[in-house]
Amino acid sequence: MIALVTGAGQGIGRAVALAFAAQGVPVAAADRDPKGVEHHPGITAHVVDVADARQVDALVDEVERTGPIGVLVNVAGVLRTGAVVDYADDDWAATFAVNATGVFHASRAVARRMVPRRSGVIVTVSSNAAGVPRAGMAAYAASKAAATHFTKSLGLELARYNIRCNVVAPGSTDTPMQRALWTDAGPAAVIAGDPAAFRAGIPLGRIAEPEDIADAVLFLASDRARHITMHDLYVDGGATLRA
């Protein structure tokens, strides 16, 4: 059984790939730039753009020649911030192409393999921004809401085939994507929150490590979660008050 992880080149996806490898699960690590996982024992690095259906289908064919994909983790994502009134068409299209359509491409290609086998697990790393409005992040939040609801709906379609589909919704997590949002004060402003931006802080008082998110992914992918599907697990230190 192979775990296919998209967006595995850095950040959360890399932590997920390393966590599976540490458990002895062979990992196919796919990314536009997979350098961060090259040459790790148990991990095979693949170059893919999840926005391109043909590339994704070819990747799944290639990985399946080495063994069955038992787990798909959709982690690839992009964040392009900006007020809606100033937001460019290209930024909207690119955001949806990766965050929503990319999840569809990978899930469809892998589900086609899993259905005849009557087994498999899909976990999509979405965002807590899918559940609460975020100023300056409308496109991102909408794309993540699409990914979340797609994954849950897929879980309903595939339940009869013994395939579980779940979502992990991270809050602020220490990765290159997150650090691009920090000011000179580092993560302090993110942890404190910003009432003027209608943004609550993080009650647990810390930014997540990528491994915190990987732990939730590995649990949902494991047999210990065998009765859990269509679930949306927030790993955000309480930032969204689970609203």
Q: Which residues are catalytic?
A: 140
How far, CA to CA in Å, does 158 sit from each of 15, 55, 64, 115, 116?
A: 27, 24, 20, 8, 11
Total of residues contacting ligand NAD (CB under 6 A)? 30
Contact 150, 158 (CB under 8 A): no
Region of 70-78, 106-114, 198-206, 221-229 interacting with ligand NAD (CB under 6 A):
70-78
Q: Which is nearer to ligand NAD, 107 or 127 (CB)?
A: 127
Contact 102, 50 (CB under 8 A): yes
Considering only residues 45 through 64, tell me which ones interact with ligand NAD, judged by CB under 6 A.
48-51
CA distance 13 to 91: 22
Site string for ligand NAD, 2-21 (x = CB under 6 A): ----xx-xxxxx--------
Q: Which is nearer to ligand NAD, 132 or 228 (CB)?
A: 132
SS3 label, residue 180? coil
Considering only residues 81 through 140, tell me which ones interact with ligand NAD, judged by CB under 6 A.
98, 102, 125, 127
Question: Should residue 172 be labelled a site residue for ligand NAD when binding is judged by CB under 6 A?
Answer: yes
Q: Which is nearer to ligand NAD, 31 or 44 (CB)?
A: 31
Within 13 A of 9's CA, how many CA atoms are on the CB side? Answer: 15
What are the structure tokens assigned to 151, written together? 């994954």
**For ligand NAD, which residue of 59, 71, 72, 78 counts as binding (CB under 6 A)?**
78
Contact 68, 43 (CB under 8 A): no
How far, CA to CA in Å, does 224 sit from each of 36, 130, 213, 219, 236?
A: 29, 26, 17, 7, 22
Question: Should residue 143 be labelled a site residue for ligand NAD when binding is judged by CB under 6 A?
Answer: no
Region of 30-38, 115-123, 154-162, 197-205 interacting with ligand NAD (CB under 6 A):
30-38
The contact set with ligand NAD (CB under 6 A) reads 6-7, 9-13, 31-33, 48-51, 75-79, 98, 102, 125, 127, 170, 172-173, 175-178
